[in-house]
A and B are shown apart, each in its own frame.
Chain A
Amino acid sequence: MSVPVLEVKNLTKTFKNVVALDNITFEVRKHEVVGLIGENGAGKSTLLKILSGIYQPDSGEVLRNGVKTVFRGPQDSAKAGIGMVHQEQSLVTSVSVAENILLGSETDAVRAGFFNWGKLNAKAQKQLDKIQSPISPKEKVENLSFAQRQMVELAKALGVEEFSKEAPVIVLDEPSSVLEGEELEVLFTQIERLRQFASVIFVSHRLDEVLRVSDRVYVLKDGKSVAERNPDTADVDELHRLMVGRESSAEFYHEDEQLAVDGAPVVLKVDGLRKNNAFSDVSFEVRKGEVLGIAGVQGSGREELTRVIFGAEPFDGGSITLDGKKVRFSSPVGAVSAGFGYIPAERRIEGIAQGLSVQDNIFLADPSPVSVGPFLLPAKARTVASEWITRLRIRTPDRNANVANLSGGNQQKVVLAKWLNSPRLRVLILDHPTRGLDVGAKEDVYTFVRQLCSQGISIILLADTLEETIALSHSIFVMRDGQIQRRFDASPGNKPKPVDLVEQMV
């Protein structure tokens, strides 16, 4: 049995208090396509970032053709013959295909500082020929479609072959999310072609595609590799079950505090909402005091949906109705006036105002509770701020500390306080609210969600884990590739199982 072309042994990577990879081991063999599946937070993207040299593992080893290797940066990874096609476009659109394919590695196409275009184009052509792409190396990338750019990225990734004399390992990270129909078929043909002279790691949330293309499939969960299966014999239901299912108690989520909302009036109504290239035909209702959970992988459209509702992005069709009145916000300013709040995933940039104090942050959305007219009431502001700090158990030296110096969990609590402080709040959108928080802070967030509901605030939740979604929500819908796949009732005592959700997500 020959040495695997790429092997990862006992790899561990931790960020602050989140374990992204937990003693993970897997291998890729010659002329093989290996599929990686797992839900959000399973560790796929961290693993790929380590393989491409962007992160360094805390412990464990990476072996290339049996030899232990350390990647100190993307250059090292490329020199080892690992080529990555990223999920986000990584081409410079203002220059040509050839320049992109050879960016930073023109070698002998540039002599004495001068570009030899003939040679450059020829070298690029060589890579394009490997996948038999008819794209011209002289074409400017900005003139190409998404699918064509994908092919250029593939040709660029294949360029690593020039560096290492070994068969390259090509990593494809969600390559199909921007493709449709015929373009997808072309992608699969290319992958087949790649197998003849390279090995491929194929990462995608679309289970059917992964199973179609791969020789072996690894299931990742919570940073571990929990199973290895052969697609020909794999049972899709078993794969779903393997992807989810972790121990957690109902007490952790304070499920007993969840109140029924059946008779409550409808606060928010979304009808046929559409945003081109993001989601379409989205309709739902949210009642007073209800938690609506939206499940879906990255690219499902759920993040764009919440940003559209908050006015941070425009929409192209359909309507949003709040308390019976149609609303169309041109920016978050209107949404906040109308009673929306948003706890963003990008906490440091959009949630807290770094550089301002904890107190200033608490009153950022609405200073009216502590002011009269345009004037601040300093004594009242001090008192109210201190109350919030106590009530939410925010750990800070004092209310004037720079909020940037607080830990992630405490920063999140400040963001929460900001919205709780606003008397106008009707609907609060939570986007990955417990990301990066320790267990204690997470539990606090769940408690506050329950309290908000009992005060009549409606919540739209984009949770980090399926368990969170299920435990906290009254109703759930799952999105996939921009559409609502299925709705679930999640009222207390009638909760769906994580496996039910995953089936719709992948």
Chain B
Amino acid sequence: MTTTAPKLGEPVTTDRGAQVKKFLTTAGPLIAFIALAIFFTVASPTFSTPGNLSILLTQLSILLVIGIGLTFVILLGSIDLSVEGVMASSSLVFVLLATNDRNDFQFGFFAVIAGILTGSLFGLINGVLHVRLGIPSFMVTLGTGAIGIGVATVLFGGRAPRLLDDTLRFWGVGSTFGISNLVFIAILVLAIAFVVQRFTRVGRYGYAIGGDEAIAKLSGINIRKYKISAFVVSGTASGIAGVMAAMQLGVGDTTIGGGMLFTAITAVVLGGTLLVGGRGGVIQTLIGVGIIVVLANGLILIGVDPYIQTAVQGVVIVIAVIASGWSLRRRVRVIK
């Protein structure tokens, strides 16, 4: 207990150490991002060129969309490992329904919607299986992720179908005002996600459920509904990401999301969203994605093997999770 009784109106920070820790957790990621940006600007002549910055932003877009979806699920204290499978299925559904070199469908924009809704459907399945059958989220999404790759494999049929719709391809490869169109899509998704997070029950109750599910339940909140909603958001985001990737690459492919799950989770955790749930958000994820992308891009520019990067990312994510959970350790505690 504090020795000096605080005035009842002022928030209390008990000591210097806690104050520093608080500052680091909120501002830390942003500081890290700025520091990295400065470092690579100095370390590599090509880093801050308009060409490279444009590449950076493009790389950021798809990862950001995935990260945004994951954030909603992680805020609950759960996880979604089905990202790559959902992206694969969505990309194939999208390409096969738009103008392509395999069939005669030409649904244009509705193909985009279909691709996105594929993601939403996977999200719904994830949510329902997790909530109604009580299966831990890592297991459900591992399974549905496999199903997603499987569905994509079936649709793939041995050769990647190519996207021939020029308007849709333009969204993927073209740019407006010198910035890739994908970036605008990502910004739009971010804006919508922020509104959902800040102003809707899906967002606010997600924080409450992640913060303390028992208390949220006692307050009469329909836990099931909001948990399922978070998974639907994540699935939809993966769907959008799959469509974006297809537009960029011009094909639908089972490996279209390769490696993105891992990077996205790292980004979310680095940005400051806690795996135990209740804390963090999409803006934090934006910064986390920024850190990852700058790091990846910069390291390649100074000649670091990209595979070493993956290895380092693996270590970094573990350290980040350990650091954020350090104070929660207890002698008699069960974490599986």
Contact = CB atoms under 8 A, between A and B. Distances in A.
A and B pair up: yes
Interface of A: 74-75, 90-95, 99, 103-105, 110, 113-115, 117, 133-136, 139, 143-148, 151, 180-183, 186, 277, 311-314, 330-332, 350
Given A94-B278, A105-B220, A312-B331, A180 B201 contact: no
B220 A74 contact: yes
B331 A313 contact: yes
A311 B332 CA distance: 10
B9 interface: yes
B284 to A, nearest CB: 13
Task: Sort A-B residue pairs by CB-CB distance and give the 4 closest, nearest first.
Answer: A134-B9, A104-B219, A94-B211, A94-B278
B204 interface: yes
Contacts of A117: 199
A105 B279 CA distance: 22
B220 A75 contact: yes
Contacts of B6: 145, 147-148
A151 B11 CA distance: 13
A183 B331 CA distance: 32
Nearest to B7: A134
A277 B210 CA distance: 27
Contact of A115 (B9, B12, B204, B215): B204
Interface of B: 1-2, 5-9, 11-13, 198-201, 204, 207-208, 210-212, 215-216, 218-221, 278-279, 331-332
A92 B218 contact: no
Most A C-beta atoms less than 10 A away, residue of B13, B210, B216, B220: B220
A308 B79 CA distance: 35
A113 B201 contact: yes
A112 to B, nearest CB: 10
A95 B221 contact: no
A350 B333 CA distance: 11
Contacts of B7: 134
A74 B218 contact: yes
A277 B2 CA distance: 11
Contacts of A92: 207-208, 211-212, 215-216, 278
Nearest to A99: B204
Q: Which one of A91, A95, A147, A180 has the highest number of Cβ atoms from chain B below 10 Å of its Cβ?
A: A95
Contacts of B12: 143-145, 148
21 contacts: A74-B218, A92-B207, A92-B212, A93-B211, A94-B279, A99-B208, A103-B216, A104-B216, A105-B220, A114-B200, A115-B201, A133-B8, A133-B9, A135-B8, A139-B11, A145-B12, A148-B11, A148-B12, A181-B5, A311-B331, A312-B332
Nearest to B200: A113
A94 B5 CA distance: 24
Contact of A90 (B8, B201, B215): B215
Contacts of B8: 133-135, 147-148, 151, 186
Contact of B2 (A134, A136, A145, A311): A145
A277 to B, nearest CB: 7
A423 B332 CA distance: 25
Instruction: Tell me what chain A mostly uses at the interface: helix, strand, loop, or mixed.
Output: loop
Q: Which residue, of B5, B200, B279, has the highest number of chain A Cβ atoms within 10 A?
A: B5
Given A93-B278, A94-B211, A182-B5, 17 more contacts: A94-B208, A94-B212, A94-B278, A99-B204, A99-B207, A99-B208, A110-B201, A114-B200, A133-B9, A143-B11, A143-B12, A145-B12, A147-B8, A186-B8, A312-B332, A330-B331, A332-B332
A151 B12 CA distance: 14
Nearest to A73: B220
Contact of B204 (A90, A95, A186, A330): A95
Given A74-B218, A92-B211, A103-B219, A183 B204 contact: no
Contact of B208 (A75, A103, A186): A103
Contacts of B278: 92-95
Given A113-B201, A115-B199, A277-B1, A135 B9 contact: yes
A137 to B, nearest CB: 12
Contacts of A113: 200-201
Nearest to A183: B5
Given A93-B211, A94-B210, A115-B200, A104 B220 contact: yes
Contacts of B210: 94
A114 B219 contact: no
A95 B215 contact: no
A107 to B, nearest CB: 12
A115 B198 contact: yes
A93 B12 CA distance: 14
A165 B91 CA distance: 57
Contacts of B1: 146, 180, 277
B234 to A, nearest CB: 19
A308 to B, nearest CB: 10
Contact of A91 (B204, B207, B215): B215
Contacts of A181: 5
B208 to A, nearest CB: 5
A94 B215 contact: no
Contacts of A135: 8-9
A143 B13 contact: yes
Contacts of B13: 143
Contacts of B11: 139, 143-144, 148
A143 B199 CA distance: 22
Contacts of B204: 95, 99, 115
Contacts of A115: 198-201, 204
B175 to A, nearest CB: 34
Given A151-B8, A312-B332, A95 B200 contact: no
A95 B208 contact: yes
Interface centre among B1, B208, B221 (most CB of A within 10 A): B1
Nearest to A350: B332
B209 to A, nearest CB: 9
Contacts of A136: 9
Contacts of A91: 215
Given A114-B199, A115-B204, A143-B11, A180 B218 contact: no
A502 to B, nearest CB: 26
Contacts of A99: 204, 207-208
A115 B12 CA distance: 28
B332 A95 contact: no
A26 to B, nearest CB: 25
A314 B332 CA distance: 11
A118 B324 CA distance: 33
Nearest to A134: B9
Given A74-B220, A134-B9, A151-B8, A95 B211 contact: yes
Nearest to A314: B331
B207 A94 contact: yes
A99 B203 CA distance: 12
Nearest to B1: A180
A331 B331 contact: yes
Contacts of A94: 207-208, 210-212, 278-279
A99 B201 CA distance: 11
A182 B8 CA distance: 10
Contact of B219 (A105, A133, A143, A313): A105
Contacts of A312: 331-332
B109 to A, nearest CB: 26
Nearest to B75: A94
A299 B332 CA distance: 20
A269 B179 CA distance: 74
Contacts of A145: 2, 6, 12
Contacts of A151: 8
Contacts of A110: 201
